[in-house]
Amino acid sequence: MSIKSDVRKITTNTLQQMKQNGEKISMLTAYDFSLARIVDSAGIEVILVGDSASNVIAGHETTLPITLDQMIYHGASVVRGTSRALIVVDLPFGSYQGNSREALNSAIRIMKETGAHAVKLEGGAEIIDSVERIISAGIPVMGHLGLTPQSIYKFGTYTVRAKEEAEAEKLIADAKLLESAGCFSVVLEKIPSQLAEKVTNEISIPTIGIGAGPNVDGQVLVLHDLLGITHEFNPRFLRRYLNLHDEIMGAISKYVVDVKSLDFPNENESYN
Ligand code: KIV
């Protein structure tokens, strides 16, 4: 038996149990082998291969351009670096909104070609047929409500969602719909804390918040934001744990100086 298979893996049941026990769930994004390995070793329960790769890896302004093939490339890389965490891969924009058959085909490609454990889709009632069809094929689905970045051109801004009563009521109804369709969890992005708390209390599946306050079942952040690589992005909900932008700049600037001054490589760094 390999060391990898000895590790107690996180499953959707683990997350359900954590909600029941009141233990908070930690989730972070990752997009590549090396960082996934560190994130997994640090004890994160859920790794999200987010379509935020479109922003932080590919440099696009929105999440819309990333393709299914690109998500599969990132997903497979993360799976190779992970032993314990549950791995969820975002279905990218355009790979599931057409109809439920297209959605199922996209989800099947992700599961087969990456080895991930679940997929995430944005939306509620509008995509419920697709959610049901994917779940009926045995693929676990995480929902995503509130600020859904794939709909940014409909919203027009990245400001807090569901402040008005009608949108808040729809969000609660959508959360219940996703729960009854069989989703194992739902992300709540950038909504008022009180609304997130209400949803969390009214559904039995775990809620994972980003900009949704403390009274949810878990938290998610984009890894590059937490590490301070994307230093120009400063939303109120973000806590930076490092300033890697400056650290990396310092290290690379020093390397440039060392190369130019012939300080690098020295004798110990060269072969005879
Ligand atoms: O793509 C992503 O990183 C996400 C999180 C912000 C939840 O969907």
pLDDT in tens, 202-258: 999 999 999 999 999 999 999 999 999 998 999 999 999 999 999 999 999 999 999
Q: What is the CATH number of the domain that holds 19?
A: 3.20.20.60
Q: Decide whether any atom of ligand 1 lies within 6 Å of the 218 Cβ.
A: no
Indicate whether 181 belongs to any domain: yes
One of 164, 189, 232, 269 is an active-site residue; which one? 189
Are 227 and 250 within one domain? no
Q: Which helix (H) or strand (E) holds 187?
A: strand 185-189
Confidence of residue 1 (pLDDT cuts 50, 70, 90): very low
Copy the structure tokens of residue 210. 């980003």
Atom 2 in ligand 1: residue holding the nearest Cα: 50
How many folded domains does the chain comprise?
A: 2
Are 158 and 130 within one domain? yes
Are 197 and 249 within one domain? no
b/e per residue, 120-139, with b = 16+ CB within 10 A?
bbbbbeebbebbbbbbeeeb
Parent domain of 262: 244-272
**Residue 263: DSSP 8-state:** -
Looking at every residue in the chain, the average pLDDT score rounds to: 97
Mutate to test the pocket of ligand 1, among 70, 120, 185, 222 (most ligand atoms within 8 A of CB): 222
pLDDT of residue 8: 86
Are 254 and 123 within one domain? no
pLDDT higher than threshold 80 for residue 270: yes
The answer to whether 23 is a known catalytic residue is no
* Alpha-carbon span 195 to 134, nearest angstrom: 28
Are 151 and 23 within one domain? yes
Residues of the chain with pLDDT > 90, as a percent, come to 96
Cα 97 to ligand 1 centroid, rounded to whole Å: 18
Indicate whether 212 belongs to any domain: yes
Are 254 and 121 within one domain? no
pLDDT of residue 6: 64
Span 60-80, average pLDDT: 98
**Ligand 1 atom at shortest distance from the alpha carbon of 120:** 8
Are 194 and 268 within one domain? no
Are 124 and 258 within one domain? no
